[in-house]
Amino acid sequence: MDSSTGADCLFCKIRDGEIPARKVREDDRVFAFEDINPQAPAHVLVVPRRHFATLDELPALGAEGEGIVGRLAAVAAAIAAERGFAGDGWRLVFNVNPGAGQSVFHVHAHLLGGRPFGWPPG
Ligand code: 5GP
Ligand code: ZN
């Protein structure tokens, strides 16, 4: 598995243990850790090991990219089940580009749970 590193990328550094984080899970394709600024009682970031900047790059990655994002969703669902809020309602959010609030340019999904969520999300 390609774990290429983005220049000066915060999440590559967390992946490689160069910056500490409260890691929740790790496998050959994705890793997950607690968000430093939680927006819900549970707020975990689920991140592909492979560096790519935004979800805009996903179509060009073909089957490999689809596999990574599938794993990412499966890991999020497993964490939701493990924490006991799977049946209550939880959210998996990708912010894509600054206009949607993306601030770290290494693809990641926000797993949010443990409170009610409104719609539209704002
Ligand atoms: P984005 O805004 O790109 O969708 O999400 C980036 C997320 O990374 C934010 O929710 C932010 O709180 C989180 N974050 C930023 N820096 C750090 C850090 O150093 N450690 C951890 N654990 N989370 C971080
Ligand atoms: Zn990165």
pLDDT at 50: 96
- Determine, yes or no, domain membership for 25: yes
Residues enclosing ligand 1, CB less than 6 A?
10, 21, 33-37, 45, 95, 101-104
Residue 57 lies in a domain: yes
What is the pTM assigned to this prediction?
A: 0.96
113 phi, psi to nearest 5 deg: -160, 170
Ligand 1 pocket check: which of 13, 33, 45, 110 to mutate, most ligand atoms within 8 Å of Cβ?
A: 45
Based on the residue annotation, tell me whether 106 is a catalytic residue of this protein.
no
What is the structure's pLDDT at 1? 45
Residue 17 inside a domain? The answer is: yes
Structural domains of the chain, count: 1
Q: CATH no. for residue 61?
A: 3.30.428.10
| Segments forming the whole domain that contains residue 36 | 10-113
Strand order in the sheet with 109-113: 23-26, 30-34, 42-48, 109-113, 90-93
Residues with Cβ < 8 Å from 45, sequence gap 6 or more? 11, 32, 33, 34, 35, 108, 109, 110, 111
Q: How far is the CA of 67 from the centre of ligand 2 (A)?
A: 18
Question: Is residue 61 situated within a structural domain?
Answer: yes
Tell me whether residue 3 is in a domain.
no
Residue 104 in contact with residue 41, Cβ under 8 Å? no
Q: How far is the CA of 71 from the centre of ligand 1 (A)?
A: 20
Q: How confident is the prediction along the chain (122 residues), in pLDDT tens digits per residue?
A: 446 788 899 999 999 999 999 999 999 999 999 999 999 999 999 999 999 999 999 999 999 999 999 999 999 999 999 999 888 899 999 999 999 999 999 999 999 999 999 999 98
Cβ 107 vs Cβ 94: under 8 Å? yes
User: Burial of 82 by CB count in 10 Å (0-12 exposed, 13-18 middle, 19+ buried)?
Assistant: exposed
